[in-house]
Amino acid sequence: MWVEKYRPHEIRDLIGQSNVVTRLGSLLENPKEMPHLLFSGPPGTGKTSAALIVAQKILGEPWRDYTLEMNASDERGIGDVRDKVKIFSRHLAMNAPYRIIILDEADEMTNSAQTALRRIMEESSRFTRFIMVCNYSSGIIEPLQSRCAIIRFPRLPKEEVVSRLEKICRDESLQCDEAGLSKIYDISNGDMRQAINLLQGASLLDKIDAETIERVSGITHKGKVGEIINLALDGQFSKARSELIQLTKVQGLSEADFIKYAGDELFRIDDPNLGEIAKLISEYDYRLVRGANPDIQMAALLAHLGSLGGSSKKLEIGHAKDQSEP
């Protein structure tokens, strides 16, 4: 996978993160005094790559023997903390200054697990350093934040992402144009991981241009989402639901993407109920994340939009199709 093939192996290779590079470079100059770290920022900005680079630079060749990597969204309970983290953190590293525990997606850990972790961080500080990686630092309890040096990763700028994609295209002998790479950035919204995956998907076709990227990413469905929203606002529930089923079950658009595109399209209208619409979109997005039945929730969303549609202005479908941002 190109995501792994082109993963940075040096701190200086992290793109668009000059402040992060400076801070981590200073910490690596004196690794014995390095505190626990908390990397926070949007997806695909280099947080996990930075954590792995820190582990490799500090621990050297046997870094895998002295590093525990855990995805806290899968192993998020107090049992995982006690069974894995506590046991691993108790042992001294023979050929390294300490062991390193990388907790990816740490903001998904339960409060009880985070509470148990704070004591472990204190007791094992002689033998272990923690690197917690999260999208939102607000999901980390204050006692853990206070024990860490927080390093924030901003969203990647467009010119840096496009430049890196151009280099990958040269290395892979791909034909690409600036419009296609710009479209990749617009769709990925600064997520380098998603951008590289889109590029690799498009590489199976003859040329990487804006049209190719739209087909690969499914962004062409966005205009159809606008049409369905118009039908719902117009009170045509049955037709809107029929079109929705065609879009999700036949053409393969996920319900999560439908919600995302619907939010983008709805916020383009000048409507007195825009505040209610925003609350509505957030409510159904939350229900899907919590595991509610997607078919039922999508039907309920269309029905709810219909109840708000009396004073709503229809979307400009042609305008919505021309928008490049997801």
Task: Read off the pLDDT of residues 215-274 as tens digits, 9 standing for 90 and up.
Answer: 777 665 667 888 888 888 888 999 999 999 988 888 777 888 888 888 877 777 666 777
Type of residue numbered 78: I
Express as a percent the part of the chain with pLDDT over 70. 89
Query: Considering the chain, what is the average pLDDT of its residues?
Result: 84
Reported CATH class of domain 158-217: mainly alpha
- Cα 233 from Cα 310, distance rounded (Å): 7
Residue 56, H or E segment: helix 47-59
Write down the domain spans for the chain.
Answer: 2-152, 158-217, 220-322
Residue scoring higher pLDDT (321 or 274):
274
Q: Give per-residue pLDDT as tens, 61-85.
A: 889 989 999 886 665 556 767 777 8
| Sheet of strand 128-134: strand arrangement | 67-71, 99-104, 128-134, 36-40, 148-152
| CB burial of residue 5 (10 Å; 0-12, 13-18, 19+) | exposed
Q: pTM for this structure?
A: 0.73
Q: Which CATH architecture has domain 220-322?
A: Up-down Bundle (1.20)
* pLDDT single digits (tens) 268-319: 766 677 788 888 889 999 998 888 899 999 999 999 888 876 555 555 444 4
What fold is seen in the domain 2-152?
A: Rossmann fold (3.40.50)
CB-CB contact of 151 with 37 (8 Å): yes
Nearest by Cα to 54 from 87, 21, 82, 90: 21
Q: What is the pLDDT of residue 183?
A: 87
| Partner residues linked to 71 by β-bridges | 104
Amino acid in the structure at residue 252: G
Backbone phi, psi, residue 37, to 5° = -120, 145
